[in-house]
Amino acid sequence: MLAKKKKLSKKEIQEDKLVTTFYEAKSFYAENQTIIFSVIGGLIFVIAAVLFYTSKVEENNKLASAELVKVYKSYNAGLYQQAIDGKPGTEEIGLLKIVDEYSGSDQGELARILLANSYFYTEQYDKALDAFDDYSGNDDLLIAAALAGKASCYEATGKYEEAAKYFEKAAKVSKYIPANPDYLLNASINFIKIGNNSDAKIALDRIKNDYASSSASRQVDKYLAQIKS
């Protein structure tokens, strides 16, 4: 006759599960040791790479900022080609080299916008477009500036439809951009140039409603009158 099976207590059941789980984990570890170490090693590599990249970006920010200080004098004086190329015999290496060496950092991307502006002011519109298009920062102010810069290049080359579109895009980046009313005014002007009065009116009305205290709002009625006439 079979002996009656002993009923396990709740505590004994828990202890039994714990022992079973332990041996299962031990067995899994023994069978997959190489994979586990490979995964751990991969995680350590990723963490180390992220820390290195963060440190490198911070260092590049400092270095790019120091180089930008040397260029600002030329840029603010309207010596745009010198700002682009740098000044031989001095420590001013120029925006082109700053962008080349420190792209990806905040200050390196600011240098890219200044480089694009410099190309624009020297009527090198294709280069300006490329530089504005290459901006990869996450600063809303500079994102809007890059879009408006592209719009200005299109306007300067007679591509008014593209200009209007990009000025509109610039005004939509964030409601906190101080230049939004100017972007909208420029969008409306370019819409008027291609005969798109309905979109021009939308942009002008937005200035009137959302940016009534801006300097751009003082020109709205003049352009609304053009549309009606």
Task: Check residue 59 and give its pLDDT.
Answer: 84
The lowest-confidence range among 33-47, 63-77, 106-120, 177-191 is: 33-47
pLDDT band at 228 (very low <50, low <70, confident <90, very high): confident
> What gap in Å lies between CA 170 and CA 142, rounded to an integer?
10
**With pLDDT > 70 as the criterion, what percentage of the chain qualifies?**
75
pTM above 0.85, yes or no: no
Tell me the mean pLDDT in the region 82-88: 96
Per-residue burial over 56-79, b if 16 or more Cβ lie within 10 Å, else e, is eeeebbebbbebbebbeebbeeee
Residues 92-148 have pLDDT tens digits of: 999 999 999 999 899 999 999 999 999 999 999 999 999 999 999 999 999 999 999
> What gap in Å lies between CA 148 and CA 146, rounded to an integer?
5
Task: Check residue 17 and give its pLDDT.
Answer: 53
Task: Check residue 115 and give its pLDDT.
Answer: 97
Task: Check residue 60 and give its pLDDT.
Answer: 82
Task: Check residue 54 and give its pLDDT.
Answer: 52
- For residue 38, count CB atoms less than 10 angstroms from its CB and return exposed for 0-12, middle for 13-18, buried for 19 or more: exposed
Task: Check residue 19 and give its pLDDT.
Answer: 53
> What gap in Å lies between CA 68 and CA 118, rounded to an integer?
14
Residues 146-157 have pLDDT tens digits of: 999 999 999 999
Nearest to 157 by CA among 132, 124, 118: 124
Alpha-carbon dihedral sign for residues 179, 181, 183, 185? negative
**71 pLDDT exceeds 90?**
yes
Task: Check residue 1 and give its pLDDT.
Answer: 43
Task: Check residue 145 and give its pLDDT.
Answer: 96
Nearest to 85 by CA among 132, 134, 124: 124
> What gap in Å lies between CA 73 and CA 94, rounded to an integer?
11
Residues 6-55 have pLDDT tens digits of: 444 444 444 455 555 555 555 655 666 665 555 554 554 444 444 334 55
Helix axes 125-133, 106-121, angle to 10 degrees: 160
**2 pLDDT exceeds 90?**
no
Task: Check residue 155 and give its pLDDT.
Answer: 98
The set of residues, in sequence order, having a beta carbon less than 8 Å from that of 195 and lying 6+ positions away, is none
